[in-house]
């Protein structure tokens, strides 16, 4: 009889885990996450296509950085081969 209860317990656990997994698969995707991805893609597109916007963002993000190597790394993170804003750079 102990073997039967062990198998019953094992079967119940497997069934419980399978039901939980199928419930998770049916959970709708987070609409906020999808909106975030779209907004990020739009930002990247504007950053690549609008040099004035890119220069302004570089100034906002990289301008306060006083360490030359960190500043250059920040500027490089914007890609596009754009030159860095001339203000606030120390050597």
Name the pTM for this structure: 0.51
d(CA 91, CA 79): 22
CA 63, 65, 71, 76 dihedral sign is negative
| Residue 3 pLDDT class (50, 70, 90 cuts) | low
Q: What would the pLDDT profile of 29-78 be if each residue is shown by its tens digit?
A: 787 888 899 999 999 999 889 999 999 999 999 999 999 999 999 999 98
Tell me how far CA of residue 11 lies from CA of 3, 4, 16, 22, in angstroms: 12, 10, 9, 17
């Amino acid at each position: 009889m102990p073997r039967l209860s062990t198998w019953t317990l094992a079967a119940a656990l497997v069934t419980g885990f399978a039901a939980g997994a199928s419930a998770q698969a049916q959970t709708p995707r987070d609409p906020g996450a999808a909106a975030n991805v779209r907004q990020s893609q739009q930002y990247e597109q504007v950053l690549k296509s609008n040099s004035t916007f890119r220069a302004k963002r570089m100034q906002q993000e990289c301008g306060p950085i006083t360490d030359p190597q960190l500043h250059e790394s920040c500027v490089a993170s914007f890609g596009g081969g754009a030159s860095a804003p001339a203000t606030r750079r120390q050597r």
